[in-house]
Amino acid sequence: MGVAVDRWSKTEIKELLNKCWMTHDGMWFFHCLQAVGIEKTNELNLAAIGSLAGIEIRRICRTLGMAEPKIETFDALKTFMVDINTLFMPDFMRFHYNFPEDNQMHVAYAPGACFAYKGIQRLGVIDGYRCGVFYRLECWFRELGIPFSVTPEVSGCMMHTDGECFRDYVFNLQLKSTS
């Protein structure tokens, strides 16, 4: 009898690991919410995301063979985002991004599809939730030394207030390597 995992595709493994991680994240949020309420849970969640981002980025960069966690060109950022998407973004999240122009990135969830929105809505505290999903991405950008601006600037849940969730990022990066 062989090991079942040997029969799984990379996509199936990524889906399973991400579903387990998201369930852990949701259960952590739920138990914090029960113990300390939504405001303190938001504070702890964002602090944990901020602390995790540096560790994640160093691990990701090592795995991708990058000498240091720094991105200096828009081309390098696009390549990095493709790699991140391949590693981290399971199909069930329905997360999409594109690069409409140089030094710009549009990131969005399909309407109603954000996993955090769905989970927090089920917990009944969506009105008080402070989004951690895009905060994580922005913490990665900061850890990578990428100067950026974002619109809209949202701290709550845009899916809840607007029925859609997206961010538009503008970067201040070289377009191509000069070496």
Q: Is there a domain that residue 111 lies in?
A: yes
Q: Is there a domain that residue 140 lies in?
A: yes
Q: Is there a domain that residue 176 lies in?
A: no
Domain count, the chain: 1
Range of the domain at 79: 7-171
The CATH number of whichever domain residue 118 belongs to comes to: 3.30.1380
The pLDDT assigned to 177 comes to 67
Q: Is there a domain that residue 39 lies in?
A: yes
Q: Is there a domain that residue 2 lies in?
A: no
pLDDT digits (tens, 9 = 90+) for 28-39: 999 999 999 999
pLDDT digits (tens, 9 = 90+) for 122-151: 999 999 999 999 999 999 999 999 999 999
The pLDDT assigned to 178 comes to 61
Q: Is there a domain that residue 178 lies in?
A: no
The pLDDT assigned to 148 comes to 97
Q: How confident is the model at residue 85 (pLDDT cuts 50, 70, 90)?
A: confident
Is pLDDT of 14 > 80? yes
pLDDT digits (tens, 9 = 90+) for 38-60: 999 999 999 999 999 999 999 99
pLDDT digits (tens, 9 = 90+) for 54-77: 999 999 999 999 988 889 999 999
Nearest to 31 by CA among 40, 111, 177: 40
The pLDDT assigned to 179 comes to 57
Q: Is there a domain that residue 159 lies in?
A: yes
The pLDDT assigned to 2 comes to 60
pLDDT digits (tens, 9 = 90+) for 91-116: 777 889 999 999 999 999 988 888 89
pTM of this structure:
0.89
The pLDDT assigned to 53 comes to 93
Q: Is there a domain that residue 112 lies in?
A: yes
